[in-house]
A and B are shown apart, each in its own frame.
Chain A
């Protein structure tokens, strides 16, 4: 069974540009979560999608957005990139039910120059 896959592995952008990160969940998982891990900081929750709907959003500005497609894959879009957006972005997936284990991808490392 394939795990959670994320692409690209690395992404280099400049300030003001837009970035798109992609995530494919484990087959059968309907929930997708996005997390940010900035250098020296802990993991922070960004967005949670399930069945194509945004279920919850962390304390991030609106330039962080995303969507979930009918096949349950997901995109995270970051507009007007700022230097502090440099981080490892992790995607996780789970079955939709209360209190399910989350399975993480290897992440996309986004570097802003």
Chain B
């Protein structure tokens, strides 16, 4: 069964804290995505990666293919980072295009 597991489910942080959200998956993938969903429902793609590490501003995403694990880090967190962060994967074969999602991590950053 193809599963994507995220932790923690909920996370509350103080402004300025370093945040880590974890994602693990059960079988080999062709790519992993980190998405951000704000309360209105709109989803923004933050990163797509198949190896190594990517950085965009205060956000860093890493992936370890051997361990089937990825992390999303937020440095110097800010209240505007409050959102649901979702890990999603592309599995190979005929289902290569569509995404399979984790249940999301709800992040709340307090001022």
A binding-site residues for B, Cβ under 8 Å? 31, 33, 35, 37, 42-45, 48, 50, 55-56, 58, 88, 90, 92, 94, 96, 98-104, 106-107, 109
Contact = CB atoms under 8 A, between A and B. Distances in A.
A99 B31 contact: yes
- Nearest first, the 4 closest Cβ-Cβ pairs linking A and B are A99-B31, A104-B43, A43-B101, A42-B103
Given A98-B30, A101-B48, A102-B33, A107 B101 contact: no
Contacts of A35: 99, 101
Given A99-B50, A102-B33, A42 B99 contact: no
B30 A99 contact: yes
A110 B95 CA distance: 26
Contact of B97 (A44, A48, A106): A48
A48 B94 CA distance: 11
A9 to B, nearest CB: 10
A32 to B, nearest CB: 10
Contacts, number: 67
Contacts of B104: 42
B105 to A, nearest CB: 11
Interface string B95-111: 11111111110000000
Nearest to A106: B42
Given A99-B48, A99-B50, A99-B90, A104 B42 contact: yes
Contacts of A48: 97-98
B99 A102 contact: yes
A58 B98 contact: yes
B52 interface: no
Interface in B28-45: 30-31, 33, 35, 40-45
Given A99-B30, A99-B90, A45 B98 contact: yes
Most B C-beta atoms less than 10 A away, residue of A31, A43, A50, A58: A43
B21 interface: no
Contacts of B48: 99-101
B56 to A, nearest CB: 12
